[in-house]
Structure 1
Amino acid sequence: MNKTVLITGASSGIGEATAQYFLQKGWNVSATMRLPTKADTLKTAPNIIYPRLDVTVPATIKAAIDETLAQFGRIDVLVNNAGYALMGPLEGVTSEQLQQQFQTNFFGLVNTIQAILPIFRHQKGGTIINVASIGGRLAFPLTSSYHATKWAVEGLSESLSYELQRFGIQVKIIEPGGIKTNFIHRGTVWVSHPDYTMMIENMNSFMKRIDAALPGPEGVARSIYQAANDRSGRLRYSPYGETFFWLHALLPQPVWRSLISNIMLGKSWRRA
């Protein structure tokens, strides 16, 4: 019997690449998304379905899980991938914007995990894979809201891995570095503030410059597949991220912070 993976946020980017990769490997795939009409590239495959799932609407989570079980009989792996980045100075972020960032990136992930756990416990096994970011252990300018959610995902995941061991349920964290998807263009929401205009412009310029040079999401999809099949107890997988962690550990903090500031914000961003 083929194994089954349920993926949130599968309409594009990492989620879409992951659905394609698992499909190529012979898995049953539940490629969930808020708007299933976006499911174009894979819709003719026989062992894939496209349930509607909005992680901020718990009823759609339950419905997507039920549809997946009805179609495939079981779920072996949950990939929590849905998310977006709220970027800009914290001073310009409204309470509603910050709440929505956490509702999608953190509480939506929690809702999905809580919905799948009774099934995994009944099956006496399963794997939860949470897509975080190198930004779950490192922080960069003008991304404090997004980082807050990803650091929360890291802490939740590591703690959860202990409490689920006795049920045969594994927890994995994926920490991608920079990759080329439509995330920068479509998965990012910018906020502004007049006193941070130069910083925002410089950061935007930096992101656009590097976008074309970044690797695609396929390598992250392979890491997710590796995590899904890895029974070693390993917690973290960092496709394209290890160099950042290595440099952050190696360099003195003032040097690291100056390097990041100069690269991302430009040498002229500081006040004279």
Structure 2
Amino acid sequence: MKTILITGASSGIGEATARHFQAQGWNVIATMRSADSTGELAALDNVHLARLDVTDPASIAAAVKQGIERFGRIDVLLNNAGYGAYGALEAFSMERIRRQFDTNVIGLLEVTKSVLPHMRENRSGTIINISSIGGQITFPLGTLYHGTKFAVEGLSEALHYELEPLGIRVRIVEPGMIRTNFGGSSFDFALDDSLPDYAPTAEAMGRVFSRLASSPSAPATVAEVIWGAANDSGDRLRFRAGPDAVALLDQRHQQDDATFIGGIKELMKP
């Protein structure tokens, strides 16, 4: 029986993926920042719950150790934990800037490094990193979030070369607009009343997201794509999740910068 370790499994994509893999007969190491956020996962067979905060190295090491002790091996790592910081760069303190990169990039690398010795010893394994359409295209006031997701795309592609000779595969999953708590606890928006120059762009960003997020996909949609990525035996690197992700990324790749960015600016208009 195979085993997957999932970060950020308390809700949204992480929880949906835990349920999907468990239903397919896998062992699941479902990790989350708070032990109080276990929800209904605790009642499922072959699910081990562990505290893991991607900004806390000790918790990462402990969760990986517990998972291996419980199930004997880790076949797939899903780096899912993350959140989005949006707003004018000037409105963010350096502490909040570092928190965004520590969570979405440094934390992902720390978890990956913790699992790699085990996978390297077994000469097998798959690492799946959750990126976003925002890892290849950008929206207004997304300097921090898009910066982290572009980083995830680059580091994942480089790791693909690095780990393939060792029998370890790397996959990138790029969701579009998903019905999760991204706009709630997983969203950090900085708005500073002392910076009114950015107010029109903030209003425009609201219009962009309202138009793009009119029909978000369910987290289960991403879970199914993750399942496909975990079980794909080929050398495919990127997997899109959601019809909007397919359409927007196709559009981005078919257009030059001026044309695509012009389209985003059109969305920003009242």
Bin for the TM-score computed over the shorter chain: over 0.9
CA shift, 1:41, in A, is 2.1
What CA deviation, in whole Å up to 9, does each residue of 1:127-173 have, x standing for no partner?
Answer: 10000111111111111110111111111111111111121000100
What CA deviation, in whole Å up to 9, does each residue of 1:92-126 have, x standing for no partner?
Answer: 22221111110000000000011001000111111
Would you say the 8 A contact 1:11–1:36 is kept in 2?
A: no
Would you say the 8 A contact 1:10–1:16 is kept in 2?
A: yes
Q: Which residue of 1 aligns with 2:153?
A: 154
Q: Which residue of 2 aligns with 1:207?
A: 209
Amino acid at match of 2:206: N
Separation of aligned partners in 1, 2:233 and 2:131: 20
What CA deviation, in whole Å up to 9, does each residue of 1:153-205 have, x standing for no partner?
Answer: 11111111111112100010011111111111221100123221122133235
Equivalent position SS for 2:41: coil
Separation of aligned partners in 2, 1:253 and 1:163: 30
Separation of aligned partners in 1, 2:253 and 2:207: 27
Q: Which residue of 2 aligns with 1:61?
A: 60
Separation of aligned partners in 2, 1:43 and 1:52: 13
Amino acid at match of 2:36: T
Q: Which residue of 2 aligns with 1:227?
A: 229
Corresponding pairs, count: 265
1:259 aligns with 2:259: no
Identity score, percent: 45
Q: Which residue of 2 aligns with 1:270?
A: none
Separation of aligned partners in 1, 2:250 and 2:170: 24
CA shift, 1:85, in A, is 0.5
Structure 1 pair 35/212, CA: closer, same or farther in 2 (3 Å)? farther
Structure 1 pair 142/106, CA: closer, same or farther in 2 (3 Å)? same
Equivalent position SS for 2:184: helix
Would you say the 8 A contact 2:139–2:205 is kept in 1?
A: no
CA shift, 1:258, in A, is 2.4
Separation of aligned partners in 1, 2:222 and 2:49: 21
Separation of aligned partners in 2, 1:266 and 1:82: 33
Superposition pairs for residues 4-83 of structure 1, below 5 Å?
4-83=3-82
Would you say the 8 A contact 2:54–2:103 is kept in 1?
A: yes
Structure 1 pair 16/212, CA: closer, same or farther in 2 (3 Å)? farther
Would you say the 8 A contact 1:172–1:235 is kept in 2?
A: yes
Separation of aligned partners in 1, 2:265 and 2:71: 49
TM-score under structure 1 length normalisation: 0.93
CA shift, 1:36, in A, is 2.2
1:245 aligns with 2:239: no
Separation of aligned partners in 2, 1:117 and 1:252: 38
Deviates more, 1:252-261 or 1:95-104: 252-261
TM-score under structure 2 length normalisation: 0.94
Would you say the 8 A contact 1:180–1:212 is kept in 2?
A: no
Amino acid at match of 1:266: K
Amino acid at match of 1:198: P
Unpaired runs of 5+ residues, structure 1, are: 268-272
CA shift, 1:213, in A, is 2.2
RMSD (CA atoms): 1.5
